[in-house]
Structure 1
Amino acid sequence: MTSTLYRELAELPVYTSATFLNGDDAAALIRVTSSVRDHSRKIKRSLQRTVIYTPSDVLTTNSESSVDVLKSATSPSGKLVAYLREIESNGGKKRFVEVWRGSKLEAIKEVTKAHAEFYTDDFFSCLSFAPSESALVYTAEGNAPGEDDQDRFRYVPTLGERLQKRQRPTLFLLQWTSNSNAHLAALQPSLTPPSTILFGQAVFSANETIIARGYETSPDGRRLGITGCTNRTCAIWKLNLPRHASDALRKTFDHSGQAYEPSTEPKSDNSTTISVDCTRLSSPTTSARSPRVFDGQIVWLSSGLGGPHNGCSALHKLDLVTGSHKEILPIIHSPATPDAFPGLFADYISERAVVRSKDGAALAIQTVWGSRKTVVLVSLIDGSVTEITPKDGADDIASWSLLATDGERRVLCSRSSPTTVPELVLGTIDDARNAVWRVLEQEALSDSAAKTLNSMKSSIVRVPDRHPLEMIVVQGSTTSKPPCVMVPHGGPHISNTTDFNPAMAAMVAEGYTVSMVNYTGSLGHGQAYIEKLLGRAGELDVEECFASAQHLVQIGIADAGPGKQFIIGGSHAGFLGAHLVARYPDYFSACSLRNPVVAVGDMAHVTDIPDWCFSQFSSPSVVPTGHLASPEEHARLQAASPLSYVAAVKAPVLLLVGDADARVPMTQAKAYYHALKGHGRAKVEMYLFPGAGHSLDQVEAELQSWEHTKEWFANVVKF
């Protein structure tokens, strides 16, 4: 049953981060981290290797598994490396913070009792050295009340999907003077009036100052889900450490020669709590994220509050000396032409992202541009934008992901396409901000896998007179018209991009054409096309998905008829798939839906993003107090949902569901399953994956989902 090709492709390492370890103009020493699916152990492993580049050669060390290392960071000088490490011990877990100078252990602190799990997510986690390189700041889960504490049963909201176990994100400061003298302190923000702002994404701007992102709860006490949502009430803050903490950072000593220690009485775990003054730096009318410090300036991204959950971002900078603030690059609503720069569609700024030329410093940042991911340079002087990733020849369909810069002229990226696996590429930037690229490495494939991928072709197909509707189409070598699998994206404000996707490549190898649809509301075309879908979900997006299928038939890529049209979709794409098989019951032959939205009115009261249910299906400003729908509003949202049309479905429906989904709770799929069973017109099957969340990205859940989908379609396909 298991597809050998799928397993081989899915087990290829995916580049996740990198760090330049030297500043030599001739050679580059780079530490590269990759994520690898291990199907035997059903886990994802993190691998590290060192790549040595010279003008004449590239050398790579053997990969080393770092399962117990959850996060690492290199100091500004490149001489120190910090690790957040978690080790299994006697059936439990022990946590350590370590600092290494080459092969010498500079400092170590066991923090098992000081706090719970380290944070490694993209929204709160951090690991930053002070300029003195004698202190670190990181984020971890604060300890819950003890058994004797009367507050141990008090309700504390979690942070939503992917962060269900996170309730008390806390910044911790580690200071050291020697291996035996490392001191840990929790940072307690001092705010007037007292507030429930939660801090993360912290970075030092000076030995006494930390810049962080602060997340606020909604007026009804909710912590609205932050995963995939750039519209939350978040700001950039400056945290000022008190004198005794800054003295320790500067390694000051008392007259006896002993290291200075804060006067706060230490707890039994040798940690303290330090109160820090806080100042908001970003506007209260924007949602700010990803603060970074470069050349005496703070830069960050911002989006609008409320409304669409993702969209175009603005780039800001603030001078640390003068305090002057400037919006370097604004949100772009409507590009001058369909192919012009559409604005920044970026989740974060890399920790080391500066590139320098004769015209001054620029920020390298990854963004979505149409159906591709690309890397641009944004001048920190005037905000001018230069795309540095090529779009000609073999690269016209490739997507690029930024991994790191060396702070000068070199940029490290990964590059892939629907038919080429990821490769590591190094770019050198000239004074005109043009890049010359060199491939450093690419994972080897078996002869059969390489032959299969080489026989495929991919293209971006636009639908005339329906901008920005387009599809990423991947086809096999057959001259006939194989069955076509439509794959819209979820969100709806995300995008299908041309990165390599093992599941889609393996589906093409099974004899299908795959069409990954980007409808109105997708990223990469300006903010106006994001907002155009608001209030029209379930109408415009469904109509455009069907139009994309019809267009492929019209231009001879696909056929209509029994066994010729299929759908794969998750979340909002599951919503689209469920609508499509109901509205066009004789057009689509089967669908596979992952954690689909099927009853928006019911979902509004149980999801971690209740505001989504209102902004997508009505005016963005019409969000009820307490996010509770009135009976009339509930009925309207239900009427716009696929569950209301379930009686029309005839195509077989496969449901793939995670029981730990906080975004689209599994009650949605269960209701749809039983409704289909009750009407008895469509075959339905559901698989439930314990512990799996919204994206079903557990290794076993991904494999089983692919296998079940392949078999589900094979039962009805007519080649």
Structure 2
Amino acid sequence: MMDGVNRDVFRQFNGFPVPVSASVTAQRDFGFDLHPITRTQNLSIISDWSQCEVDRGVRLHYFQQWALLCNRRAVESVVSRGPCINTHGELLVSHSPSGARRAVVRETSTHVGHQYLEVWGYSGLEACLDLAALNKHGKVYEDAQFACLAWSPCEERLLYVAEKKRLRSSAQPSSASDDADSMVFEEEDKNMYMEDWGEGLVGKTASVLCVADLSKGDVTVCPGVPPHLSPGQGLWAGDSGGVVFVGWWNEPFRLGMKFCSNRRSALFYTDLKGSCELLSSDLGSVSSPRLSPDCLWLVYLQGRAFGPHHQCFCMMLYDMQNQTSSLLVDVVRRTKEGQFAGVYDSLPPHCWSSDSEWIFFSSACENRKSVFSVERRTGRVTPMLGANAGSAEFGSVKLLTIVKDLMVICCSSPNHPPCLKVGFVSNGAHLQSEQWFHLGGAEVSENFGWQSMIIAPPPEEENHQLSGVNFGAVLLKPAGSSKSVMFPLVVFIHGGPHSHFAAEWNVNAASLTKTGFAVLMVNYRGSTGFGQDSIDSLLGNIGNQDVKDVQRAVLHVLQNNKTLDPDRVAVMGGSHGGFLACHLIGQYPEFYRACAARNPVINAATLLGTSDIVDWRYSSVGLQYSFDLLPTPQALTAMLEKSPIVHAAQIRAPVLLMLGGKDKRVSPYQGLELYKALKSRNSPVRVLWYEGDGHSLSNVETQADCFLNMALWFKQHLNVK
């Protein structure tokens, strides 16, 4: 029977709304146009939110709108424009530049597979295109890797990405416009295998750029995109009528894209008439193209192909008039405490100042997420918001958008759920007002404490090729800490490995802390936010350097926090975090009392043929990858030797395994391999199998079930009342 306290805490914490995106437009109907003398104007903010309803097992989406009365670039008042509105069925949403129209790609439950492009205005529904009936393409892409929904400057056309139309090989094009560029011909055998882009992108095999002409009520597929490319992240190139997009190489075969920023790709321009030209280098990877308000500059992120699956990016600047690219912000190799640590995250959809002189973005910075500005003329990076966003209570800040120099940010801390705030920026280096207006989200703060720490590895644990690289951790402790109370400690390890624990709201960590556990979230070497040298240092050293870093962090907090019980330590993690959790209980069998692992890598050698990111299997053990590479005994031996399975015989801690039956990143049979090894030795092990879930175990019911089982597992084996 589920523990009622755990269930109630998780329901409450997982139910806090999370801001997903925001848009800013001028308001025409509120009576306050921009006044030439007083500079008074009215702006509208519309934010999209996600909220989990645990009892029903659903993730709800809604939007909320506010009117802001602004005077001389300062917010004077904020007025909510009504209650939140459910956006069920909306896959993509985009507000026109003027704010007068709202475009929605909607999928209906009444007609399975039917998608509609709707345009809403002040007088209701203005246009509705039945995309299935038009039959120009397959399903519209709504994912974070490819998708876009962009208004043309004239607000009469919309750009989006969809799956190529498929026809049987015996079929003929229905019109002259239906040529080979706009469809994929299949063999007569309906069971022919079609590659897709892997975990989280199942069924997405070949994308096309599409333009909906609202005045004609029709859709055209953009011609001229080379067939070896899959286009995405499109945007209009000013008033030219052309489109800029990112094109990913899909030959010789596709590799998994989700969480992997190292896929070969480049920036392209098409005039929509069949001409396509390259704008960037075609030897690396690119993402996040963003056009300046004056349409003269294009900023984008650039990294390398292969190697680490995620990385520190260069920020590049493309001169639209002279058609030249230049380096704006370079890769940061090493970090200095509290200073800019590099660009690791995608740029916000709107990231330019109104005068096209500054670019704003948020990125991992050691144990935090902070906001920075970049001066276009000099490339100078300035910290804008970090631990202090109008209040010292916030550990991390994420920029959602900046329009008309009004910045919309999401703030949170390990003990403070996400909230939405707004404020003006006077220039790229300063904030106009120190007062940030609260718009929405939780205004509560939990009474448990947290602290961020930077840890230096001892000399015997240094990486001799890349020495002097520190790592970090965030510790959460329950309320009522005193010398008379000793708390059990749960070590929480992130996956990736090239990802990051920011000092922000984490439902699992907060829920465990609320129910009496201390939680240590570790950013071992290889995590983002600590410079590219940290990322590179892990290549070839998985299962060793990262394991030692986590253990070092645990010893550090036990030594410096006498309220933590060294005899009651458990470990949890997913993916590479599960890999490390299983390593730790095998390499330190007398230290850990319990383990919970989600979709863990157990045997990298047997994973080689089933993972959608086969390149990372080689890179992680220090081997160079190429598409035509075949396994060798030496490579397989290296993968096996760095895997937790080689320590399975030493494992004593009870192990809880949570596996997704549809995981394409780490096969669920990885977990079963450990299960069998432990069962044969009478070592306590339990498996939870989620047939319909993938790698992230993101289904709302699954998330709740995983947490409740983990909490009860830890309570049982750490002897928590």
Q: Same fold (TM over 0.5)?
A: yes
Deviates more, 1:277-286 or 1:121-130: 277-286
- Aligned-residue sequence identity (percent) comes to 26
Is contact 2:394–2:416 with CA below 8 Å preserved after alignment? no
Distance in 2 between the 1:398 and 1:516 partners?
14
> What corresponds to 1:199 in structure 2?
231
Q: Which runs of 5+ in 2 are unaligned?
A: 28-33, 35-39, 70-74, 171-185, 459-468
- The two structures have a TM-score, normalised by structure 1, of 0.89
Quick check: 1:565 aligned with 2:569? yes
* 1:302-352 per-position Cα deviation (integer Å, ceiling 9, x unaligned): 1112111111111112122221221111112124x3333111111x22221
Mean CA deviation greater in 502-511 or 425-434: 425-434
Matched, 1:515 2:520: yes
SS of the residue corresponding to residue 665 of structure 2 reads: coil
For residue 61 of structure 2, the aligned residue among 43, 46, 71 is 46
- One-letter identity of the residue aligned with 2:102: V
Check 1:101–1:373 CA distance in 2 against 1; reply closer, same or farther (3 A cut).
Answer: same
Write the distance in 2 (CA, Å) between the matches of 1:696 and 1:310: 21
Letter in 1 for 2:492: V
1:475 counterpart residue number:
477
Displacement of 1:558 in angstroms is 5.5
Whether the 8 Å CA contact 1:36–1:44 is kept in 2: the answer is yes
Q: How does 1:547-586 map to 2 (within 5 A)?
A: 547-557=552-562, 559=564, 561-562=566-567, 564-586=568-590
Q: Secondary structure at the match of 2:214?
A: strand
Query: Which amino acid in structure 2 is aligned with residue 533 of structure 1?
Result: L
1:651 aligns with 2:653: yes
Q: Deviations over 1:424-443 (max 9, x none)?
A: 11121124631234132343
- Cα deviation, residue 99, structure 1: 1.9
- Corresponding residue for residue 689 of structure 2: 688
* 1:143-158 pair list within 5 angstroms: 143-146=165-168, 150-151=187-188, 152-158=190-196
Q: Is 1:141 paired with 2:163? A: yes
Using the TM superposition, give the Cα deviation of residue 624 of structure 1 relative to its aligned residue in structure 2, in angstroms: 5.5
**Alpha-carbon distance in 2 for matches of 1:654, 1:40:** 24
Q: Distance in 2 between matches of 1:432 and 1:644?
A: 53
Contact kept? 1:174, 1:185, Cα under 8 Å: yes
| Alignment CA distance shift 1:411-1:678 (3 Å) | same
Worse overlay, 467-476 or 571-580: 467-476
CA-CA distance at 1:560 after TM superposition? 5.4
Listed as ranges, the matches of 1:160-239 within 5 Å are: 160-177=198-215, 181-191=216-226, 195-205=227-237, 206-218=239-251, 221-239=252-270
Name 1:544's counterpart in structure 2: 549
Q: Is the 8 A contact 1:560 1:587 kept in 2?
A: no
Deviation at 1:106, TM superposition (A): 3.1
Contact 1:601–1:629, Cα closer than 8 Å, also in 2: no
Residue 333 of structure 1: aligned partner:
333
Measured after TM superposition, the shift of residue 627 of structure 1 is: 4.4
The residue that corresponds to 1:391 in the other structure is 387
How far apart are 1:712 and its partner, in Å? 0.5
Kindly tell me: are residues 625 and 26 of structure 1, through their superposed partners in 2, closer, same or farther at Cα, counting changes over 3 Å?
closer
Per-residue deviation at 1:107?
2.4
Distance change >3 Å, CA 437–CA 288, structure 1 → 2? farther
Q: Is the 8 A contact 2:328 2:376 kept in 1?
A: yes
Q: Residue in 1 aligned with 2:452?
A: 460
Aligned pairs (5 A) from 1:56-455: 56-60=76-80, 61-89=82-110, 92-113=112-133, 114=135, 115-146=137-168, 150-151=187-188, 152-177=190-215, 181-191=216-226, 195-205=227-237, 206-218=239-251, 221-242=252-273, 276-294=274-292, 295-296=294-295, 297-335=297-335, 337-346=336-345, 348-356=346-354, 361-392=357-388, 395=392, 398-406=395-403, 408-431=404-427, 433-435=429-431, 436-444=434-442, 453-455=445-447
> 1:713, CA displacement in angstroms?
0.7
Contact 1:565–1:588 at 8 Å: present in 2 too? yes
Checking the alignment, whether the CA contact within 8 Å between 1:471 and 1:518 is kept in structure 2 is yes
Measured in 2, the distance between the counterparts of 1:600 and 1:623 equals: 15
Cα deviations across residues 543-592 of structure 1 (Å, max 9, x unaligned)? Answer: 11111111111112554554x10111000010000000001111000010
Pick from 50, 70, 79 the counterpart of residue 35 of structure 1: 50
**Cα distance 1:20–1:70, how it changes in 2: closer, same or farther (>3 A)?**
same
Q: Which amino acid aligns with 1:635?
A: T
Please give the per-residue CA displacement for 1:454-493, whole angstroms capped at 9, x wherever unaligned: 3201110222456522211111123222011101111111
- Please give the alpha-carbon distance, in whole angstroms, between the structure 1 residues aligned to 2:165 and 2:595: 45
* 1:355 aligned counterpart, secondary structure: coil
Whole-angstrom CA distance in 1 between matches of 2:457 and 2:110: 62
Q: Is the 8 A contact 1:605 1:627 kept in 2?
A: no
Question: Are the equivalent residues in 2 in contact too, given 1:125–1:200 (CA < 8 A)?
Answer: yes
Spell out, residue by residue over 1:199-248, the C-alpha distance to the aligned partner (whole angstroms, 9 max, x if none).
01111104431101101135xx3211111111110111111212xxxxxx
Structure 2 Cα separation of the partners of residues 222 and 558 of structure 1: 53
Task: Tell me the TM-score normalised to structure 2 length.
Answer: 0.88
Shift of 1:628: 3.3
The answer to whether the Cα contact below 8 Å between 2:161 and 2:232 also exists between their aligned partners in 1 is yes
SS of corresponding position for 1:145? strand
Number of the residue aligned with 2:31:
none
The verdict on how the C-alpha distance between 1:81 and 1:586 changes in structure 2, with shifts beyond 3 A counting, is: same
Preserved contact between residue 413 and residue 426 of structure 1 (Cα < 8 Å): yes
* Code of the aligned partner of 1:529: S
**What's the secondary structure of 2:302's corresponding residue?**
strand
- Cα contact 1:132–1:207 (8 A) shared by 2: no
User: CA separation in 2, counterparts of 1:127 and 1:397?
Assistant: 32
Query: 1 CA distance for matches of 2:223 and 2:667?
Result: 34
Question: 2:118 corresponds to which letter in structure 1?
Answer: E
Structure 2 letter corresponding to 1:19? S
1:595 CA drift (Å): 0.2
- Structure 1 pair 625/190, CA: closer, same or farther in 2 (3 Å)? closer
The offset of 1:401, in angstroms, is: 1.3
Quote the Cα distance in structure 2 between the aligned partners of 1:624 and 1:327: 28
Structure 1 counterpart of 2:84, one-letter code: S
Equivalent of 2:617 in 613, 616, 638: 613
- Partners of 2:306 and 2:552 lie apart in 1 by 30
Q: Which amino acid aligns with 1:454?
A: E
Any unmatched runs of 5+ in structure 1? 243-275
Whole-angstrom distance in 1 between the partners of 2:565 and 2:516: 16
Aligned residue for 2:199, secondary structure, equals coil
